[in-house]
Amino acid sequence: MKIMIIDDSSAMRMIVKRTLRQAGFDGHEISEADDGVEALAAIQTCAPDLVLSDWNMPNMTGLQLLEALRKSGVKLSFGFVTTEATPDMRLRAFSAGAKFLISKPFSPESFKEQLGPHIR
């Protein structure tokens, strides 16, 4: 699978990649972007199957990115890895079409549980 990790923190992108490996999700093609604007352009060319996106980022938030992707008809599995964990924010995420929301900080176990249905 092609997996894109979007976060404005390069350290967090590294931690997400490491946690994917620790959760047993090895052997996938990983790409990265550091905000929603960069990701929106990159998705057109690298066509990921799965996106793991932060929520609060400069230029374009993760939620704005998800809405833009849905508006343009791009088909992919999209979920958040974020500190946004209130019930209201979860509702906004799932209403916009997110498949999952993983709270930061996270464990390999939470990745297994939440990403298992979406990574083949």
Partner 1 sequence: MTTAYPLPDAPRVQNILGMLFEGLEVKPGGAFDQTPDGGAWFGVFVDDEGAPVALCGADVSLAAGLSAALSMLPPAAAKEAAQSGELSGGMWENLREVMNICTRLVLDSTSPHLKLDQLCPAKALPAAAAAILGSASGRREFSLQLPRYGGGILSLLSI
Q: Contact with partner 1 (CB under 8 A): which of 1, 12, 37, 60?
A: 12
Closest by CA position to 35, among listed 4, 1, 64, 8? 8
Q: What is the closest distance, in whole angstroms, from the C-beta atom of residue 84 to partner 1 in the complex?
A: 7
Q: What is the closest distance, in whole angstroms, from the C-beta atom of residue 74 to partner 1 in the complex?
A: 27
Coarse DSSP helix, strand, coil percentages of the chain, rounded to the nearest 5 percent: 45, 20, 35
The reply to whether 14 sits near partner 1 by the rule CB under 8 A is yes
Cα–Cα distance measured from residue 58 to residue 87, given in angstroms and rounded to the nearest whole number = 23
The reply to whether 10 sits near partner 1 by the rule CB under 8 A is yes
The reply to whether 89 sits near partner 1 by the rule CB under 8 A is yes
